[in-house]
Amino acid sequence: MNPYLEQCQVERQKRQTDPVDSADQQRRALEWQRFDECGWPNTRLEKWKYTSLSSLEKLALPTALVRDPGFVMGSQDFLRADGLVISWVDGQIDLENSSISELPAGVEILFWSTMTPDERDKFAQLLVQSRRLSALGALNGALLSEGVWIRVSPGACLEVPVFLIHQTSQSCAMHLAVVVEMAVQSQLTICERWMSTRDQPTHVNLVTAFHLAEYAQLTWIKAQQGGNGSYHTAGLWAALLGHAQLRLYPFGLAGSLVRHDIQVLLQQPRAECTIRGVYRVCDREMQDFHTSVEHLAPHCTSDECFKGVLDGSGKAVFNGQVRVALDAQKTQSQLANHNLLLSEKAEINTKPELEIFADDVRCSHGTTVGQLDENQWFYLRSRGIEMETARHLLVHAFTREISDAIPHAGIRDVMNQWLGDDCYGA
């Protein structure tokens, strides 16, 4: 057993002595058993072929119970936009910096730490598929420390976004869960930001489940901005009923190792899913997106595009799977992945995977890997723009297409600003 798992064992035993409900203990035991059966992910597994967790294995990361007294809250750029804020520090809800004391009609927010045993049971059920996306999902089930459950009532349309803002104050591991339940014809925008302190190892192991009923609309934006030494592994599972619309905007902006497993199930006719993502890596950074969109019913639409910017010795993996079931006729699906390599040492492993069993569908996919356009660079410089600025502008322009697609203007502006932030060795 590696040092990371040894520490997990310690944490597990600590929880067993906690005076909590027995059903929860039972669930945790089963999840630990399942994790044992799956085993710690290694590069011999197809899904982990290019992504090694060997540096995380060596870290014995405890659960943080008290935040570091010297901790100063990070910048709250998003908060320029109006919204409901759920603030987390070290995996614990930080009510002092949250603004959820008065919720608008039609929305309910529960935290795992204060749920009743019945609610915890339901919460766990809603996360079953999310936790099956990888072995780390089972580990999450065994070690869950906090979670948030957002429920939106039928027809409720929240005008302001819900912000989940997570920061760490010290070296620690966190196993967290988010569930969003969208009733018929409800609408919501969620925006997550994950930050960590510099140069202190942290691991966020997150599972998320989105359940969208008929005609529900959910927009989700995620900014991953970890420091040097930050590990972030996230499994996101979403299920859409008829006419539901899901829009996902994951932005992997920084972090030592970031892995996303995203699975979207279009379960009933005319469900729609749009994914627009960015990953960006510099020296010694790694981003991995494994996405899977499953068309299970006719007349559904999916449109996915990821753009990657790779610099220094940065590395990224994109695996985009689209599956169209036998009776999912009239499916429309697009999948694209475009990469900009800025250094000779940078590496991208990209693979579109289409599995189509229906015969009346429109499905396309395309992948590109390229470098900065010399003509564009020369053009900008010939107008007096400094070499590094010109390069920076072109890199920003490349990803801007993605951030410009964010429907919420305030969030879009902040994201544009972050994409313009320098991670390109100026």
Binding part of the chain for other proteins, among 291-299, 350-358, 362-370, 395-403 by CB under 8 A, reads 395-403
* Alpha-carbon distances of 251 from 15, 70, 191, 248, 418, rounded to whole Å: 33, 29, 11, 10, 10
* Subset of 338-377 contacting other proteins (CB under 8 A): 373-376
Binding of other proteins by 389 (CB under 8 A): yes
Window contacting other proteins (CB under 8 A); options: 189-197, 199-207, 338-346, 380-388: 380-388
d(CA 179, CA 327): 29
CB of 394 to other proteins, least distance (A): 7
The verdict on 416 binding other proteins (CB under 8 A) reads no
Does residue 44 bind other proteins (CB under 8 A)? Answer: no
Give the span between the Cα atoms of 217 and 418, in whole angstroms: 26
Considering the complex, state which of residue 155 and residue 425 has its C-beta at the smaller distance from other proteins: 425
Residue listed under structure tokens 């990209």: 350
Which residue, 82 or 386, has its beta carbon nearer to other proteins? 386
Q: How many residues bind to other proteins according to rule CB under 8 A?
A: 23
Which CB, 15 or 381, lies closer to other proteins? Answer: 381
Q: Which of 15, 122, 400, 412 binds other proteins (CB under 8 A)?
A: 400
Closest by alpha carbon to 289, among 355, 224, 381, 216?
A: 224
Q: Over the Cα atoms of the chain, what is R_g?
A: 21
CA distances from 66 to 308, 414, 424 (A): 37, 31, 35
Does 380 bind other proteins (CB under 8 A)? Our answer is yes
- Residue of 109, 354, 372, 393 interacting with other proteins (CB under 8 A): 393
- Binding of other proteins by 381 (CB under 8 A): yes
In angstroms, what is the minimal distance from the CB of 400 to other proteins? 4
Contact between 426 and other proteins by CB under 8 A: the answer reads no
**Mapping DSSP to helix (H, G, I), strand (E, B) and coil, where does residue 254 land?**
strand
Backbone angles phi, psi at 360, to 5 degrees: -120, 75
Q: Which of 196, 164, 162 is nearest to 177 (CA)?
A: 164
Residue 216 main-chain phi, psi, to 5 deg: -75, 150
Single out the residue of 15, 122, 151, 396 in contact with other proteins (rule: CB under 8 A): 396
> Is 352 exposed, middle or buried, given 0-12, 13-18 or 19+ CB atoms closer than 10 A?
middle
Position 390 contacts other proteins (CB under 8 A): yes
Residues that bind other proteins (CB under 8 A): 373-376, 378-387, 389-390, 393-394, 396-398, 400-401
